[in-house]
Amino acid sequence: MWLALFTRPRVGRLASRSPALLVSVVIAAALAPFAGELVLRRSKLRATEWLVHDEEPRRQPDARLGWTFVPARTGQNSIGGRVLDYAFDAAGYRVPRASEPVDPDRPTILFTGESVMFGEG
């Protein structure tokens, strides 16, 4: 409805005043998905937080998810003057200590989110 009421009249005025500009905009909009696809296929993307290869917590490539945390290890990182310990069990789950793995048979509460849910920031 918004497009019909507000955009259509403006596009009509643009077409009558500057048809060459309108044609350029339509061509650019039509080619943009192909250009984006070309760039994405040629670039090797990593997780946005994975800026440095040795950054803690360490990550490893994963075919299904893109990346996962390296399992069975503990690392440290300093953020905002605080030193954080990152411990992961053999399955790659974050745990208080690597010696305390997640027990899948226990009742579970699932928390989802970004860095704050992970314990950063």
Question: Model's pTM, two decimal places?
Answer: 0.53
Per the structure, the count of domains in the chain is 2
Residue 118 located in a structural domain? no
Report yes or no on 71 lying in a domain.
yes
Q: What one-letter code names the amino acid at 90?
A: A
Range 48-56, long-range pairs (CB < 8 A, 24+ positions): 49/115, 56/86
As a whole number of angstroms, the distance between CA 113 and CA 118 comes to 8
Question: Is 8 a member of any domain?
Answer: yes
Residues 65 and 108 in one domain: yes
pLDDT at 116 over 90: no
What domain range is 26 assigned to? 2-42
Cβ–Cβ under 8 Å, residues 89 and 78: no
The predicted pLDDT at position 14 comes to: 79
Percent of the chain with pLDDT over 90: 24
Residues 37 and 68 in one domain: no
Q: Is 49 inside a domain boundary?
A: no
What is the reported pLDDT for 65? 82
Query: Is residue 50 situated within a structural domain?
Result: no
pLDDT tens per residue, range 43-82? 876 655 566 667 788 888 888 887 888 999 998 888 788 8
> Do 68 and 34 reside in the same domain of the chain?
no
Residue 47 lies in a domain: no
Q: Which is more confident, 19 or 37?
A: 37
Residue 22 burial (10 A CB sphere; 0-12, 13-18, 19+): middle
The answer to whether the Cα torsion of 87, 91, 92, 93 is positive or negative is negative
Task: Quote the pLDDT of residue 51.
Answer: 61
Measured CA to CA in angstroms, residue 36 lies from 24, 29, 42, 63, 65 at distances of 18, 11, 10, 22, 21
pLDDT for residue 68: 86
pLDDT at residue 114 is higher than 80: no
The more confidently predicted of residues 58 and 2 is 58
What is the pLDDT at residue 15?
Answer: 81
> For residue 48, is it within any domain?
no
